[in-house]
């Protein structure tokens, strides 16, 4: 029945390759291990969902109210047909079906669509579903915040109207405080406003006011409370051509501010947007968000969840998005230094080993059953082609020794304009944005390169594609200069005390260049700390590090000097 439902929905959209892709994902067995007691991300794969609003209701279940991306996408214009999902264990999720669509909204835009990020609230036996929708064809100037009600959290919703006397904004959020007072927030395009709701939950009590103190606000307001502190989270305006919205937050002792900006709690996903919610369930806090891993398309998104943790002072620890990973193609991790062919990405398929924007190998070569497009390469062998922004590939690699490397990528493009690629090791972006030039031909290859510092050991290397179309033949990662401390290097700088308990000092014999920096790795090659060095003598805190052996990498005078540091 699920397959029939998926097929009918996507056939109506005419987006056949996405239909095939989603059916494949639901039919084929996949070996994915849940990480940190949360489901593999994205955890809803039979339809496209975004902007997750999470709530725990009186029946003890966690309910999710996301928006619904419709294929084929036309930006976010066609979003419609809200569904509700719930769980009682964070692993098994129930789709309760559709609760509302644009054609149910009598005052809504005649052409439909534009059913964007919603929220839901509960008061006195009634569930209030808040949704943004334009009332006119000129959608960007006619936004209303509609309200539908039901006595059930996942069915029976009836549109009651919209909140009157509001400006044309989106992204409603309703927070009910401990005293029962409900607060309403909305915004977008850099504007965030909040105010009290009347007891009928459908009118503003007084004036809406600007939320002061937020940093780089874009949209996606969410408010929660913990230990007497109010938290307002939102997306920002970050955009470097490859990575986009980050999630930020601010705190206050009042639900309407003023707010104190606290920084970024989630870095960009592979989607052009992000929009999330934060909720506590069964004693654990969770961060909900979305990515584009299932589709490889910025406007066909999928909701995800990961655990969220607080520091003792109430600040939020950065959330690292999790996902399953594949296994090495050819069974063994690719050695570094060495050449890695682009077509030798990991086994595991869509979402796990790669994200591709269509469900066929357009070149038909080498690995024809994969979605990644592979063709014969003009330099011999094969290349990955038909690359577009938001796609990514993963490779399991093994770095023989920590140090500085030159990472080279052979690329070709007949019309690159703003094309780019980025390389990550684990969760660390090691290259930044690497611009792909126009090489005047799909098989006319040039080398782009970046100096990188890599930790020792086995890692997942991810190639994340920016905008533009290009081909990749291979990567060549070559050792530049890896130098263990010698007698001569001992005169460059001193490290003391060693062994160390709480703070270590790095003291240089001479003035240092602005490019001097350090990275500290544990014995397994995991990066623990990094920072630039600007003074001849710098004190580094190592509070909180477990006792054991660490490797200190200091980049100085065009080489990396490695010192062993023992933490007591």
Which positions are annotated as active-site residues? 51, 219
**Peptide bond between residue 371 and the one before it cis (omega within 30 degrees of 0):** no
Q: Tell which residue, 132, 481, 427, has the closest CA to residue 268.
A: 427
- DSSP-derived secondary structure letter, 238: -
Strand order in the sheet with 119-123: 119-123, 126-134, 143-150, 158-162
CA angle in degrees (0–180, nearest 5) for 310-63-140: 90
Written as six digits, the tokens of 416 are: 């690159």
Residues 412, 446 contacting (CB under 8 angstroms): yes
Cα of first residue to Cα of last residue in the chain, in angstroms, is 60
Q: What are phi and psi of 205, to 5 degrees?
A: -95, 95
Q: What is the 3-state secondary structure (H, E, C) of 425-458?
A: ECCEECCCCEECCCCCEEEEEEEEEEEEEECCEE
Nearest CA to 284 out of 263, 304, 306, 302 is that of 306
What would the DSSP string read from start to end of 43-86?
---SSEEEEEEEEE-TTS-EEEEEEEE-SSP-TTTT---EEEEE
* Residue matched to tokens 């050991």: 457
Residue 3: which H helix or E strand, with range? helix 2-13
Distance CA 142, CA 234 (A): 23
Q: φ, ψ for residue 202 (rounded to 5)?
A: -130, 5
Whether 68 and 78 have beta carbons less than 8 Å apart is answered as no
**Pairwise CA distance, residues 449 & 554, whole Å:** 22
Query: CA 434 to CA 471: how far, in whole Å?
Result: 14
Alpha carbon 396 to chain centroid, angstroms: 20
Helix (H, G, I), strand (E, B) or coil at 141: helix
Pick the closest to residue 265 from 312, 225, 233, 311 (CA basis).
233
């Amino acid at each position: 029945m699920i397959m029939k439902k998926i097929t009918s929905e996507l056939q109506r959209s005419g987006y056949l390759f996405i239909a095939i892709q989603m059916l494949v994902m639901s039919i084929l067995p996949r070996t994915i291990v849940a990480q940190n007691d949360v489901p593999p991300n994205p955890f809803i794969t039979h339809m496209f969902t975004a902007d997750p609003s999470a709530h725990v209701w009186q029946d003890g279940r966690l309910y999710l109210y996301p928006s619904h991306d419709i294929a084929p996408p036309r930006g976010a214009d066609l979003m419609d047909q809200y569904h509700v999902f719930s769980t009682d264990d964070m692993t098994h999720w129930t789709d309760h079906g559709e609760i509302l669509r644009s054609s149910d909204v009598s005052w809504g835009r005649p052409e439909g669509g534009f059913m964007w990020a919603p929220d839901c609230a509960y008061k006195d036996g009634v569930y209030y579903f808040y949704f943004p929708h334009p009332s006119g064809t000129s959608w960007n100037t006619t936004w209303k915040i509609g309200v539908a009600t039901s006595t059930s959290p996942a069915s029976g919703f009836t549109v009651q109207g919209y909140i009157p006397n509001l400006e044309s904004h989106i992204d409603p959020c309703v927070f009910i405080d401990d005293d029962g007072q409900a607060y309403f927030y909305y915004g977008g395009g850099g504007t965030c406003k909040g105010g009290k709701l009347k007891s009928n939950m459908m009118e503003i009590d007084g004036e809406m006011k600007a939320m002061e103190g937020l940093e780089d606000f874009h949209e996606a307001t969410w408010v929660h409370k913990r230990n007497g502190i109010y938290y307002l989270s939102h997306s920002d305006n970050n955009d470097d051509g490859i990575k986009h919205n980050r999630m930020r937050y601010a705190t206050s002792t009042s639900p309407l501010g003023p707010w104190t900006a606290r920084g970024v709690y989630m870095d960009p996903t592979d989607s052009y947007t992000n929009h999330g919610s934060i909720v506590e369930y069964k004693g654990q806090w969770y961060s909900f968000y979305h990515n584009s891993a299932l589709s490889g398309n910025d406007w066909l998104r999928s909701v995800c969840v990961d655990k969220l943790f607080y520091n003792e002072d109430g600040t939020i620890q950065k959330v690292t998005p999790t996902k399953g990973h594949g296994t090495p193609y050819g069974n063994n991790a690719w050695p570094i230094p060495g050449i890695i062919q682009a077509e030798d990405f990991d086994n595991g398929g869509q979402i796990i080993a790669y994200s591709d924007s269509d469900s066929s190998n357009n070149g038909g070569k080498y690995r024809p059953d994969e979605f990644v497009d592979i063709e014969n390469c003009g330099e011999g062998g094969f290349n990955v082609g038909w690359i577009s922004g938001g796609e990514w590939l993963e490779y399991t690699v093994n770095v023989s020794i920590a140090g500085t490397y030159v990472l080279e990528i052979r690329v070709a493009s007949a019309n690159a304009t703003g094309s780019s690629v980025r390389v990550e090791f684990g969760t660390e972006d090691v290259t930044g944005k690497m611009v792909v030039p126009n090489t005047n031909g799909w098989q006319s290859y040039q080398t782009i390169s970046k100096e990188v510092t890599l930790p020792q050991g086995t890692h997942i290397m991810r190639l994340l594609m920016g905008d533009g179309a290009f081909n990749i033949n291979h990567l060549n990662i070559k050792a530049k200069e890896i130098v263990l401390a010698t007698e001569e290097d001992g005169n460059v700088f001193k490290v003391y005390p060693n062994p160390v308990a709480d703070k270590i000092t790095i003291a240089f014999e001479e003035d240092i260049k602005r490019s001097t920096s350090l990275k500290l790795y544990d014995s397994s090659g995991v990066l623990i700390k990094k920072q630039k060095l600007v003074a001849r003598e710098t004190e580094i805190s190592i509070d909180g590090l477990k006792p054991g052996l660490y490797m200190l990498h200091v980049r100085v005078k065009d080489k990396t000097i490695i010192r062993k540091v023992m933490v007591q």
